[in-house]
A and B are shown apart, each in its own frame.
Chain A
Amino acid sequence: MISRRDFLQASMAASALLGASGFGNWSRLAAQQALTQDQLLEFDSFGNVSLIHITDIHAQLKPIYFREPEINLGVGPNKGEVPHITGADFRRLYGIEDGSPSHYALTYNDFSALARTYGKMGGMDRVATIVNAIRAERPEALLLDGGDTWHGSYTCYQTQGQDVVNVMNKLRPDAMTFHWEFTLGQERVHEIVDSLPFAALGQNIFDAMWDEPAERFKPYQFFERGGVNIAVIGQAFPYMPIANPGWMFPDYTFGIRDENMQAMVDEVRAQGAELVVCLSHNGFDVDKKMAAQVSGIDVILTGHTHDALPEPVLVGDTILIASGSNGKFVSRVDLDVRDGQMMGFRHKLIPVFSDVIDPDPEVAAAIDAERAPFESALTEVIGQTDSLLYRRGNFNGTWDDLICEALIEQRDAEIAMSPGVRWGPSLIPGQDITREDIWNVTSMTYGRAYRTEMTGEFLKVVMEDVADNLFNPDPYYQQGGDMVRMGGLGYRIDVTAPAGERISEMTFLETGEPIDPARSYVVAGWASVNEGTEGPQIWDVVEEHIRQKGTVKVEPNTSVEVAGV
């Protein structure tokens, strides 16, 4: 008799084979420049349940360029494991041909050239077309939004998230979980959540006063689809009050709470759930650990760390799906659920090539309507770029190098710090830089650019602290962002060293001298989690800088030396 695990693994192999007519196919066809919408959407329906997953859109309603990371290091048990494999190694692992669309969509190399060939990705009108096509085949498919949806653009900031809410509602999601949404402030979050025509979930969203589950956010929701009783359990980002300003949502506390997750799984199973899906904003490595700690979850739809994986990762009997960010991908997962058990799955990471997939006219019109009042502000050209501007990567990106340069020059600082967030689309050489582009990489509700003094000793404390949030060998102690970007300061980092000992050889780049622990440096930065931070908005600082430069050129950053890889 075949065990459930064997069956899953057999299915996995079958899925990989079928991938040859799914994922692998668009890769090969694309190499022949023959990509079509039908090929991108091609999927042999399987089993009786379909899940559609999209996450970390960061308010990108329109197609964008988004370069995937070059450096994305795993530590401890995750060293060398997906999603910590990039570039040529990633293509080799998944059998992706060099120069193919999947090369462009999933890896960083030759990004500018391939971006010109294959065009922008994403756009919620294109995503709507994909969702509608899946629903035409599987009317009862569940659409699940992993959060980081109502944050990250000019229009989202100006409308306090309403533009994204209005557009997403047209896609008719069935459930959602949260992270950056809370930086709108809890009053606004309440207002929107109370208006949502779908479930707002988070088993780990607790009331701060009583440390009890928050009433407004249910831990789970049941759906009867395809004759299967499905429980979707939400898992919000666990470390919101640490990574983001807790004073904006003082009534809430979070945490991983995997024991409560186990209790919820047991509870829904006792209530007859035949399929348990976790809609998570934990980050991939945290979900991987949680899948090993908590038993009885069939599928974890991961989010937060912005990873896109062409195949599910199996942990025990749980499959983990990683659907990328910024609207670049939609995952479809078909499941065969019988006798209260998941018997097999078929999966496809659908790349949203915006020039190949037709925009859904209704959603396209809705997006245009949301943008109309802001059109002239959005499209104003501030300057041009000669360089590829991107952010993703553990240590630095050209966008942040430019932002740090703006902070140092515009704010008369010696050292600049830019947060290691993972959102923010890319621009390719030769492109205009519009106001919208600047807001896409800076927009937030706590964007004031502070100017302060820090001693060399304290700078090290800050850098060690952020490094441990990224490189602690236990994923439960990580927060899922990248390393803080330093302007005017070079350093060496040993990612495998213990906390407090990773950073060395800190250098003040202006003089080439070592950073003096006792000396005070003038530091400019943005995205402080402190209430009452003063200074101009970061997007105004960057806009002024780019306007002065006219055309920006960012030289390769050689000031961070990485060891322990």
Chain B
Amino acid sequence: MDFTRRETLALGAGAAALTLLPAGAYAATVDELVNEFTGGADVADGGVNLDAPEIAENGNTVPISVSADGATAIMVLAAGNPTPPVATFNFGPLAGSSSASTRIRLAGTQDVIAVAKMADGSFARTSKEVKVTIGGCGG
């Protein structure tokens, strides 16, 4: 838990701002972004790997990695961020593997989504919930 007064207040403000956002407020945006990426094509569940922690150690820098065999591009979205697009990784024919790692900032507990575009033009999608917590008390 964070307890210096300044950080407490800052956190309180952040948490308050978050709770003001109605759940699903960005659902349309995420759908739109996926649609834009896929051109409206069907998206299969699975076939793309997304590695992210279940609980972020620090919401300001959350390590994630994505990979999908044979993908030409992988788009990453943070569904609950004020601006959901995180990155789109493009893999050219000379890429050793279709995988990428980065660190992202998460405004709160939310789903991180990865959509892969395969060489044959098909699409695959996966998501993982990452919890951003102000801390607990260990056993």
Contacts and interface: CB of A to CB of B under 8 A. Distances in A.
Interface of A: 56, 148, 179-180, 211, 237-244, 246, 253-256, 259, 283, 304-306, 419-423, 450, 452-455, 457-458, 461-462, 465-466, 468-470, 472, 474, 476-477, 479-482, 484, 499-500, 525, 527-530, 532-533
B5 A452 contact: yes
Contacts of A484: 137
Contacts of B7: 530
B138 A461 contact: no
Contacts of B138: 179-180, 237, 239-240, 243-244, 421, 479-481
Contact of B137 (A458, A472, A481): A481
5 contacts: A254-B57, A457-B12, A461-B11, A461-B15, A481-B137
Contacts, number: 124
Nearest to B51: A259
B139 A465 contact: no
Interface in B1-60: 1-5, 7-8, 11-12, 15-16, 19, 51, 53-55, 57-58
Nearest to B129: A477
Nearest to A528: B3
B136 A243 contact: yes
A253 B3 CA distance: 22
A465 B134 contact: yes
Nearest to A450: B3
A462 B1 contact: yes
Given A458-B15, A461-B15, A242 B135 contact: yes
B8 A246 contact: no
A335 B28 CA distance: 56
Given A179-B138, A482-B139, A530-B1, 19 more contacts: A237-B138, A242-B133, A243-B137, A254-B57, A255-B57, A419-B137, A421-B139, A450-B3, A454-B12, A461-B12, A465-B133, A466-B136, A469-B136, A474-B54, A476-B54, A480-B138, A482-B137, A529-B135, A530-B2
Contact of A477 (B2, B11, B131, B139): B131
B97 interface: no
A136 B106 CA distance: 55
A328 B48 CA distance: 47
Contact of B55 (A148, A420, A453, A477): A477
Contact count band on B:
20 to 34
Given A306-B139, A468-B133, A241 B3 contact: no
B101 interface: yes
Contacts of B12: 454-455, 457-458, 461
Contacts of A453: 5
A527 B139 contact: no
A527 to B, nearest CB: 7
Nearest to B109: A499
Contacts of A240: 138
Given A455-B12, A461-B15, A477-B54, A242 B136 contact: yes
A256 B15 CA distance: 26
A366 B137 CA distance: 32
A454 B137 CA distance: 18
A532 B16 CA distance: 25
A11 to B, nearest CB: 31
Contacts of B8: 452, 454, 458
A239 B90 CA distance: 33
A529 B55 contact: no
A469 B133 contact: yes
A454 B139 CA distance: 25
A481 B136 contact: yes
